């Protein structure tokens, strides 16, 4: 409505050959990530906080594919995270003593870790398919309930399975994770989300979000697209879970409850349903804010209980935040736009991807 007209298609001015455009950002990221790893690896606290933040970003960006771009509403993302965490965790535990002889130990560990992550992600994706298929054939709000129920089923299954440590949880999972690995996946999920958004698949998802009946009439296989977006989203939730499992001392069913799911939902809604950068910003904000408040209360030397209460108070505040957002600013921070669309005009803009 108040947009400047879109600039011409970028390939006209791109210096990167077409054949390399697909892989180029990955190469750049690998280098930058090494630098980043070197910078932060000194402080254990920074490593931990950044890892938590990265996992949250992966979760928020992946959930945004379903809740934002496709306009469905899943509130069981933590369930898929749990699947990834437990499957990859158990795998790593069992492969702890295994080393690939032709590689140095550290490299071998990372290879095994990657395999464990992928298996966890694929298991989560398979669960996403199983859950999505029946509910995505129906009206969107069924998905909310079914995903919520799915989270519960996962919890019950874990609590009844010895291999998953029942209610006690799994400990002793090798701590393979590093900011490098976490942010490599952050980078991947963002890249995937953006490339989907800019492709015909993304347009089909947006079309479903805008008007399912019309999308179907225009030849879009709405059920198929919904299920696929759900599968992709679950895959990355599983990856996030796997990463999480490899840097926390213990995972138990309590880490993947409805509360966690809601936290991710709040991030996506706050960032703006449909905005990838919005999800990132909100994930960073909602990870740092409670931490910051805790440190602040501690530093101020107020009653120690206040700092402890931060976690408790967070939950009802998230709930109210959702209500207030919906009543006053349902589009969240960015709406469906991306960060570069809302930046002040003097900063050079990227071409608007969509909408």
Residues 29-68 binding other proteins (CB under 8 A) are none
- Answer yes or no whether residue 259 interacts with other proteins by CB under 8 A: yes
Q: Which is nearer to other proteins, 107 or 214 (CB)?
A: 214
- Answer yes or no whether residue 216 interacts with other proteins by CB under 8 A: yes
- Answer yes or no whether residue 272 interacts with other proteins by CB under 8 A: no
Measured CA to CA, the distance from residue 225 to residue 141 in angstroms comes to 17
- Answer yes or no whether residue 149 interacts with other proteins by CB under 8 A: yes
Measured CA to CA, the distance from residue 229 to residue 61 in angstroms comes to 12
Identified binder of other proteins from the candidate list 134, 172, 254, 292, rule CB under 8 A:
134
Among 279, 347, 335, residue whose Cα is nearest residue 2: 335
Identified binder of other proteins from the candidate list 31, 105, 299, 323, rule CB under 8 A:
323
Please state the separation of Cα 68 from the chain's center in Å: 12
Measured CA to CA, the distance from residue 176 to residue 49 in angstroms comes to 16
Identified binder of other proteins from the candidate list 228, 244, 267, 286, rule CB under 8 A:
228
Identified binder of other proteins from the candidate list 96, 152, 292, 303, rule CB under 8 A:
152
Identified binder of other proteins from the candidate list 98, 289, 315, 343, rule CB under 8 A:
315
Please state the separation of Cα 95 from the chain's center in Å: 26
Please state the separation of Cα 351 from the chain's center in Å: 24
Instruction: Determine the interface stretch with other proteins among 36-44, 101-109, 206-214, 283-291 (rule: CB under 8 A).
Output: 206-214
Identified binder of other proteins from the candidate list 66, 74, 121, 155, rule CB under 8 A:
155
- The CB-of-19 to other proteins minimum distance in angstroms stands at 5
Q: Side-chain half-sphere of 144: how many Cα atoms within 13 Å?
A: 9
Instruction: Determine the interface stretch with other proteins among 50-58, 101-109, 129-137, 242-250 (rule: CB under 8 A).
Output: 129-137
Name the phi and psi angles at 250, rounded to 5: -150, 140
What's the token pair of residue 101? Answer: 């002889």
Among 244, 267, 269, residue whose Cα is nearest residue 254: 244
């Amino acid at each position: 409505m108040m947009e400047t007209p879109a600039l011409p298609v970028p390939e006209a001015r791109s210096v990167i050959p077409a054949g390399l455009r697909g892989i180029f950002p990955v190469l750049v990221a690998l280098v930058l990530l090494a630098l980043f790893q070197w910078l932060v690896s000194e402080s254990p606290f920074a490593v931990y906080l950044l890892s938590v933040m990265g996992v949250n970003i992966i979760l928020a960006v992946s959930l945004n594919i379903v809740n934002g771009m496709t306009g469905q509403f899943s509130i069981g993302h933590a369930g898929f995270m749990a699947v990834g965490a437990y499957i990859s965790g158990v795998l790593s535990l069992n492969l702890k003593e295994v080393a690939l002889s032709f590689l140095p130990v550290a490299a071998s560990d990372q290879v095994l870790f990657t395999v464990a992550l992928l298996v966890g992600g694929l298991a989560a994706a398979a669960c996403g398919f199983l859950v999505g298929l029946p509910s995505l054939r129906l009206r969107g709000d069924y998905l909310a309930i079914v995903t919520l129920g799915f989270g519960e089923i996962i919890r019950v299954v874990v609590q009844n399975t010895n291999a998953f440590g029942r209610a006690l949880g799994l400990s002793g999972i090798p701590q393979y994770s590093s900011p490098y690995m976490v942010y490599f996946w952050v980078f991947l999920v963002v890249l995937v989300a953006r490339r989907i958004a800019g492709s015909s698949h993304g347009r089909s998802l947006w079309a479903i979000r805008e008007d399912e009946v019309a999308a179907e009439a225009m030849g879009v296989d709405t059920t198929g697209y919904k299920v696929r977006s759900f599968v992709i989203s679950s895959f990355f939730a599983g990856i996030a879970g796997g990463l999480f499992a490899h840097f926390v001392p213990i995972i138990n069913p309590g880490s993947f409850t409805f509360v966690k799911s809601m936290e991710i939902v709040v991030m996506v809604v706050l960032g703006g349903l449909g905005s990838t950068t919005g999800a990132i910003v909100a994930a960073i904000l909602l990870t740092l804010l409670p931490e910051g408040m805790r440190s602040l209360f501690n530093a101020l030397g107020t009653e120690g209980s206040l700092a402890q209460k931060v976690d408790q108070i967070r939950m009802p505040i998230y709930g109210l935040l959702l209500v207030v957002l919906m009543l006053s600013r349902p589009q969240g921070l960015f709406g469906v736009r991306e960060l570069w669309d809302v930046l002040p005009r003097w900063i050079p803009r990227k071409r608007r991807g969509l909408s």
